[in-house]
Structure 1
Amino acid sequence: MKIYNTLTNSLEEFKPISDDLVKIYVCGPTVYNYIHIGNTRPIVVFDTLARFLMHKGYKLKFVQNFTDIDDKIIKKANEMNISIEEVTKKYINAFIEDTNNLNLIKDVIRPKVTENLSEIIEMIQKLIDNGYAYKKENDILFSIDKFKNYGKLSNQKLDELNKGVRIDLTDKENEKDFVLWKGKKENEPYYDSPFSKGRPGWHIECSAMINRYLGENIDIHAGGQDLIFPHHENEIAQSVCSTNEKSFFVKYWMHNAYITLNNEKMSKSTGNFLLLHDVLKEFSGEVVRYFILTSHYRKAQNFSKEELIIAKKTVFNIKKQIAKFNNETENNSSLVEEVIKDFETEFNKALEDDLNTPKALASISKAIKSGNKLLSENEKINLRPLGQRLVYYIENVLGVKLDKEIEMNNNEILNILLEVRQKLRDEKNYNLSDYIRDRLKEIDIDINDKK
Structure 2
Amino acid sequence: MTLRLHDTATRETREFVPLTPGRAGIYVCGLTVQSEPHVGHVRSAVNFDVLRRWLAVTGHQVDFIRNVTDIDDKILTKSAEQGVHWYALASAMKRELDAALTAINVLPPTYEPGATGHVPEIVELIEQLIARGHAYAAEDGSGDVYFDVRSWAAYGELTRQRVDDMEPAGDADPRGKRDPRDFALWKGWKKESEPQTASWPSPWGPGRPGWHIECSAMAGKYLGPAFDIHGGGVDLRFPHHENEQAQSRAAGRPFASYWLHNAWITTAGEKMSKSLGNSMLIPSVLERVRGIELRYYIVAAHYRSHVEFSFEALEESAKAFRRLEDFLDRAAPVVGSWFASLPDAFREAMDDDLGTPAAVAVIHDSVREGNRLLADGPSDELSQKFGEVVAMLDVLGLNPADSAWATGRTDDRLTEVVDALVKGLLEERTAAREAKDWARADAIRDRIKAAGVEVEDTPTGPKWSV
Bin the TM-score by the shorter chain. Answer: 0.7 to 0.9
Q: What residue is the counterpart of 1:381 in the other structure?
A: 379
- Alpha-carbon distance, 1:391 to partner: 1.2
Q: 8 Å contact 1:327–1:384 — kept in the other structure? A: no
Q: Does 1:201 align with 2:210?
A: yes
* Superposition deviation, residue 385 in structure 1: 3.3
Choose the corresponding residue for 1:400, options 383, 398, 401. 398
Q: What does residue range 22-101 of structure 1 map to in structure 2 within 5 Å?
A: 22-101=24-103
Alignment of 1:5-404 (within 5 A): 5-136=7-138, 137=141, 138-161=143-166, 171-185=176-190, 186-188=192-194, 189-243=198-252, 247-328=253-334, 344-376=343-375, 378-382=376-380, 383-395=382-394, 397-403=395-401, 404=405
Q: Counterparts of 1:357 and 1:32 in 2: how far apart (Å)?
A: 31
3, 6, 19: which one pairs with 1:4? Answer: 6
Q: Deviations over 1:336-355 (max 9, x none)?
A: 99xx97x6101111111111
Percentage of identical aligned residues: 37
Matches of 1:259 and 1:402, distance apart in 2: 25
TM-score, with structure 1 as normaliser: 0.83
Coordinate RMSD, CA, aligned: 3.0
SS of the aligned residue for 1:109 comes to: coil
User: 3-state DSSP class of the match of 2:343?
Assistant: helix
Q: Is the 8 A contact 2:155 2:246 kept in 1?
A: yes
How far apart in 2 are the matches of 1:371 and 1:282? 29
SS of the aligned residue for 2:186 comes to strand
Q: How far does residue 56 in structure 1 lie from its aligned partner after superposition?
A: 0.3
> Given that residues 263 and 306 in structure 2 are in contact (C-alpha distance below 8 angstroms), is that contact kept between their aligned partners in structure 1?
yes
Q: Tell me, which stretches of 5 or more residues in structure 2 are unaligned?
A: 423-442, 449-466
Instruction: List runs of 5+ in structure 1 lacking aligned partners.
Output: 419-430, 437-451
Question: CA offsets per residue over residues 282-340 of structure 1, 9 Å max, x none?
Answer: 3221111100012111111011111121122122211111233335466x9xxx99xx9
Aligned to 1:425: none
CA displacement, residues 227-251 of structure 1 (integer Å, 9 cap, x when unaligned):
00000000001111112xxx42110
Q: Which residue identity lines up with residue 246 of structure 2 in the other structure?
A: A
| Equivalent AA in structure 2 for residue 156 of structure 1 | Q
**Which deviates the most, 224-233 or 367-376?**
367-376
Cα displacement string for residues 41-94 of structure 1 (whole angstroms, at most 9, x for unaligned residues): 110000000000000010000011111101111112112211112111111111
In structure 1, what is the Cα distance between the partners aligned to 2:36 and 2:335? 49
CA contact (8 A) 1:134 1:141 kept: yes
Count of aligned pairs between the two proteins = 406
Segments of 4+ in structure 1 off by > 6 A?
A: 405-411
Normalized against structure 2, the TM-score is what?
A: 0.81
Shift of 1:106: 3.3
Q: Deviations over 1:353-393 (max 9, x none)?
A: 111111000000111112233344x4342322321231122
| Residues 203 and 234, structure 1, Cα contact 8 Å, conserved in 2 | yes
Distance 1:272 1:147, change over 3 A: same
Letter in 1 for 2:225: E
